[in-house]
């Protein structure tokens, strides 16, 4: 994997939960401070679907995959169909791309293991072919067929497209900390152009890329694979997808690992603000590490994290006034927004901290923004030729359909700024404004915040990392508290997700569950 993408995936391959300028949210009353739990209505509970398959869906459940070679050693590919609209199956189909790598043996085959790296918008096929299908523990790959399906609207499954490369370049440079009415209008115009592009590309599909529909698609895939139950490992947003499946089909939920868990009961304004707090926690950990090194540009040994954050924020302010040269072939300069995303990208994996420290040093001391631009490009999945994958487009499409917009107007954002900035003095302002994007989405949200209990499901393993930047540990505790059969596995550490990231304790616990069906003991913690 080339260097510009190394930070788009952690060592487990977990994708980013959400993207700046693309974070979804949920509205509440203007007078309510962001994050106020007291003002929110209790979340409803996701109701399971009937156990019997409706006659209108029989043709989908009876599909047999026509496997073919797909040009990646050891993998086969196929295409399955799902109804575009489950409420009206006769209205048309959506094509789902699927890949698998057969179990290698020895040992009794345990069926299929579906994996999803999150996003929303991450390609599960790309993930399994580049990592999970060759990098998961040998014992797991020996006994499971490694399988992935790109969710509807993502990558190979009828991808949503919104902007071309140059348009995305302009979008990612948009100032996300507007200082006046003119800059606010420019940000709103960028959101509107993005949304209009998505609506023009896929006016029908855009109404049907919700997580509930993607979870129902997974049940069709399960049936097509011939499995009685779904075995699944989901990271980040993939935990929401997996939990939703368990809530809809508790009797068909097999061995589910939900790593880097989301809390599905949160309205998205709280979701966004708590994620902002997660990035604040991660930055504190980075700052403490950075100042131990003589080359840290944020301060010398003993500098408090708060002071290091002030130094970084001052650097962002300088970029806001005067973008920095990068030597980029397309003439792009490092703006405040691009630099912020570059720093956020490195928060996902503590293994990237040295690279971030070097990039900040080069920028702050040598006026060269190339390193931070590369980190930003890795986050946005921009290639050297100026092209983008559809990750950012699918991310917005799913998020804006799953929950109503966090804010309906710039005035609402301004009123919420103090709460976001308290959650993260460094990132709060930008992430608050990023939560405005769904206000201009061309289709209304179809989902809502709901608790997921999945009563009757087999044991489900929920994994939480104590200093996870993108999915705060509290979310793992919350999801484990909702799921009736959950076992919470805690990793005391940094970075996003835990499985396959170097903890033998975490890996052995999850492997035992996948291979033997034995969940971790209650209260198990690893470091």
27 is catalytic: no
User: CB pairs under 8 A, 24+ apart, for 106-111?
Assistant: 106/142, 107/139, 107/142, 107/143, 108/143, 109/143, 109/144, 109/145, 110/143, 110/144, 110/231, 110/514, 110/515, 111/144, 111/145, 111/225, 111/227, 111/228, 111/229, 111/231, 111/254
**CB burial class (10 A; 0-12, 13-18, 19+) of residue 467?**
buried
Among residues 236, 359, 424, 435, the one annotated as catalytic is: 236
- Backbone dihedral angles phi then psi of residue 99, each to the nearest 5 degrees: -135, 155
Give the integer Cα–Cα distance in Å for 35 and 29. 11
507 is catalytic: no
Among residues 24, 28, 208, 496, the one annotated as catalytic is: 496
225: closest CA among 141, 125, 147? Answer: 147
- DSSP tag of 334: B
Give the integer Cα–Cα distance in Å for 418 and 271. 16
260: closest CA among 280, 285, 241, 284? Answer: 241
293 is catalytic: no
Strands 144-149 and 93-101, how do they pair?
A: antiparallel
Based on its alpha-carbon atoms, the radius of gyration of the chain, rounded to whole angstroms, reads 22
**CB burial class (10 A; 0-12, 13-18, 19+) of residue 112?**
buried
436: closest CA among 407, 465, 459, 471? Answer: 407
Give the integer Cα–Cα distance in Å for 142 and 334. 46
Give 3-state DSSP helix, strand, coil % of the chain, rounded to 5.
45, 15, 40
User: CB pairs under 8 A, 24+ apart, for 409-413?
Assistant: 409/439, 410/178, 410/184, 410/187, 410/188, 410/436, 411/30, 412/27, 412/30
Among residues 145, 227, 468, 494, the one annotated as catalytic is: 468
491: closest CA among 12, 70, 165? Answer: 12
Residue with tokens 């139950």: 229
What is the set of active-site residues? Answer: 236, 468, 496
């Amino acid at each position: 994997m080339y260097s510009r993408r190394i930070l788009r995936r952690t060592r487990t391959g977990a994708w980013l939960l959400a993207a700046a300028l693309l974070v979804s949210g949920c509205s509440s009353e203007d007078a309510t401070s962001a994050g106020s739990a007291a003002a929110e209505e209790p979340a409803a509970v996701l109701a399971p679907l009937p156990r019997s398959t409706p006659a209108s869906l029989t043709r989908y459940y009876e599909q047999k995959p026509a496997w073919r070679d797909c040009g990646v050693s050891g993998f086969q590919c196929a295409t399955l169909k799902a109804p575009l609209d489950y409420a009206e199956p006769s209205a048309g189909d959506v094509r789902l791309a699927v890949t698998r790598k057969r179990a290698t043996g020895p040992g009794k085959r345990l069926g299929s293991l579906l994996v999803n790296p999150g996003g929303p918008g991450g390609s599960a096929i790309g993930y399994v072919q580049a990592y999970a299908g060759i990098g998961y523990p040998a014992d797991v790959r020996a006994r499971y067929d490694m399988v992935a399906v790109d969710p509807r609207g993502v990558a190979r499954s009828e991808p949503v497209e919104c902007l071309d490369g140059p348009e995305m370049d302009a979008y990612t440079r948009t100032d996300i900390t507007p200082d006046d009415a003119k800059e606010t209008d420019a940000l709103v115009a960028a959101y509107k152009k993005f949304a209009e592009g998505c609506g023009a590309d896929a006016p029908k599909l855009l109404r049907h890329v919700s997580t509930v529909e993607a979870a129902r698609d997974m049940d069709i895939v399960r049936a097509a694979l011939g499995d009685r139950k779904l075995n699944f490992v989901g990271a980040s947003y993939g935990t929401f997808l997996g939990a939703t499946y368990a809530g809809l089909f508790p009797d068909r939920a097999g061995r589910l690992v939900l790593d880097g868990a989301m809390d599905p009961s949160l309205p998205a304004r709280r979701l966004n603000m708590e994620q902002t707090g997660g990035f604040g926690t991660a930055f504190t950990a980075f700052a403490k590490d950075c100042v131990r090194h003589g080359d840290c540009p944020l301060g010398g040994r003993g500098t408090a994290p708060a002071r290091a954050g002030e130094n970084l924020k001052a650097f962002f302010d300088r970029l806001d006034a005067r973008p920095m040269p990068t030597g980029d072939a397309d003439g792009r300069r490092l703006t405040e927004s691009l630099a912020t995303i570059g720093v956020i990208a490195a928060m996902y994996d503590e293994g990237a901290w040295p690279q971030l420290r070097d990039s900040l040093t080069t920028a702050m001391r040598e006026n060269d923004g190339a390193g931070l631009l590369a980190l930003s490009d890795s986050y946005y999945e921009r290639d050297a030729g100026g092209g983008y994958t559809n990750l950012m487009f699918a991310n917005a499409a799913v998020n804006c359909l799953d929950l109503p917009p966090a804010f309906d107007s710039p005035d609402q954002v301004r009123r919420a700024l103090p709460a976001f900035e308290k959650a993260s003095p460094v990132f709060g302002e930008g992430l608050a404004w990023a939560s405005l994007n769904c206000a201009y989405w061309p289709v209304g949200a179809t989902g809502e915040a709901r608790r997921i209990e999945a009563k009757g499901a087999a044991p489900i393993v929920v994994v939480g990392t104590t200093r996870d930047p993108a999915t705060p540990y509290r979310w793992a505790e919350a999801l484990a508290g909702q799921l009736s059969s959950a076992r919470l596995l805690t990793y005391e550490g940094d970075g996003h997700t835990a499985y396959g990231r170097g903890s033998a304790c975490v890996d052995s616990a999850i492997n035992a569950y996948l291979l033997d069906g034995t969940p971790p003991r209650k209260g198990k913690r690893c470091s």
